[in-house]
């Protein structure tokens, strides 16, 4: 991953849809927002997408199909306790990728999912601790 792409990951707002409406933004190296802390408790969580594998723009129809597959896989995992829709939004607001915030999945499971969908990295954490960028092993 080049420095520009790494900087883009770090500057992104990772927005999670709240059950009562509105959004809550995660940021790398910042603690989990209060609105999400009660949902995560002390459990591991991740913010992941299937859009634009290997950071290459692909047709919307392909992205949507991949995202549906990711959602079905998340629902099928016994460790998944919560799935919330989200979106990664660039600092300038010109770029957006639909995503999921999931509670209950460990890094090994998130690594496998990110690798399956060609994602260079994803955001993860545990409970209220700061969000971390994890580069997907092998990509």
Domain hosting residue 111, numbered range: 3-135
> Do 82 and 102 form a contact (C-beta atoms < 8 A)?
yes
CA–CA dist 30, 138 (Å, integer)? 26
Number of folded domains that form the chain: 1
Q: What is the pTM of this model?
A: 0.95
pLDDT in tens, 82-116: 999 999 999 898 899 999 999 999 999 999 999 99
Reading across the β-sheet that carries 23-26, which strands appear in turn?
23-26, 13-17, 82-89, 96-103, 44-48, 121-126, 132-135
* pLDDT tens-digit map of 45-81: 999 999 999 999 999 999 999 999 999 999 999 988 8
């Amino acid at each position: 991953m080049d420095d520009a792409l790494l900087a883009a990951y770090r500057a992104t707002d990772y927005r999670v849809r709240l059950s009562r409406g509105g959004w809550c933004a995660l940021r790398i190296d910042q603690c989990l927002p209060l609105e999400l802390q009660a949902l995560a408790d002390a459990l591991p969580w991740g913010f992941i997408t299937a859009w634009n594998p290997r950071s290459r723009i692909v047709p919307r129809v392909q992205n949507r199909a991949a995202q549906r597959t990711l959602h079905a896989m998340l629902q099928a995992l016994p460790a998944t306790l919560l799935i919330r829709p989200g979106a990664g939004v660039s600092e300038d607001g010109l770029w957006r990728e639909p995503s999921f915030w999931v509670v209950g999945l460990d890094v090994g499971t998130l690594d496998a999912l990110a690798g399956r969908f060609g994602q260079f990295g994803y955001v993860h954490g545990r409970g209220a601790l700061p969000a971390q960028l994890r580069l997907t092993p092998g990509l």
